[in-house]
Amino acid sequence: MTKLSVNINKLATLRNARGGNVPDLLTAARDLERFGAQGITVHPRPDERHIRYQDVRDLTPVVTTEFNIEGNPVPKFIDLVLEAKPAQVTLVPDAEDAITSNAGWNTIEHSTYLNDIIATFKQHNIRTSIFVDPDLKMVEGAAATGTDRIELYTESYAKDFEKGNKDGIVPFTKAAILAHDLGMGINAGHDLSLDNIAFFKDNVPHLLEVSIGHALICESIYLGLENVVNMYLNKLS
């Protein structure tokens, strides 16, 4: 079964919009795990506009499933990850002013940089994953960095699927096959939803984990958080 890791950034955005501690991220993480989520994902950014660095510290002893910390590996982020020692760190090349992640790594251009950072995390027994587009050259470049996994950036798939173009899955299928052949695990995330997740899972082999936040929280407004988590689990089984 492909694992579901729930990204709780949007819950932090809601909390920060009003101040105080509602919703409580620690309670939310516990509840998501109780509902069946197999991981919790956070993506702290330098301006801390949603997940704060202190949230990561507070969540570290609370999360009992896989804790996945995403972000651009600037020095402050690296220090945070080494302090928290999560199950997985996902490296994302997002600019400080980006609203959300919008591109994968150029794994060829940044090969030495990624290799050094990944080696540091692996010395501390932290599984590494790097965010990549479904480009075979970038997948090959990822393998050369020594990363344990890649996370396929799925925005283009989601847009094509919404338009009825199911051929948009083809680059992801090819990328996953190549990544597996090169010895890397495959994760995926960005704009995956209840509408498109089953088709993606059925057509992308060796898919170990998906990280879903925005759509899952939006769907939960209408359907309820526990119900939505279980709907995803059914589609991923």
Residue range 129-176, pLDDT digits in tens: 999 999 999 999 999 999 999 999 999 999 999 999 999 999 999 999
pLDDT of 97 higher than 80: no
Pick the catalytic residue: 33, 50, 70, 209?
70
Query: How many whole angstroms from its chain centre is CA 20?
Result: 27
- Whole-number pLDDT of residue 181: 98
- Whole-number pLDDT of residue 95: 63
Residue 94: pLDDT band (50, 70, 90) is: confident
Q: What is the CATH number of the domain that holds 59?
A: 3.20.20.70
Cβ atoms 161, 199 nearer than 8 A: yes
pLDDT of 6 higher than 90: yes
Residue 103: pLDDT band (50, 70, 90) is: confident
Q: Which residues pair with 88 in a beta bridge?
A: 68, 127
214 given a catalytic annotation: no
pLDDT tens sequence across 7-17: 999 999 999 99
- Whole-number pLDDT of residue 90: 98
Check residues 185 and 102 and name the one with the higher pLDDT. 185
Pick the catalytic residue: 33, 43, 209, 219?
43
Give the amino acid at 55. Answer: D
Comparing CA positions, the residue from 108, 37, 24 lying closest to residue 68 is 37
Comparing CA positions, the residue from 50, 29, 123, 26 lying closest to residue 81 is 123
Pick the catalytic residue: 50, 151, 190, 209?
190
* Structural domain of 77: 3-236
Domain total for the chain? 1
206 given a catalytic annotation: no
162 given a catalytic annotation: no
- Whole-number pLDDT of residue 46: 86
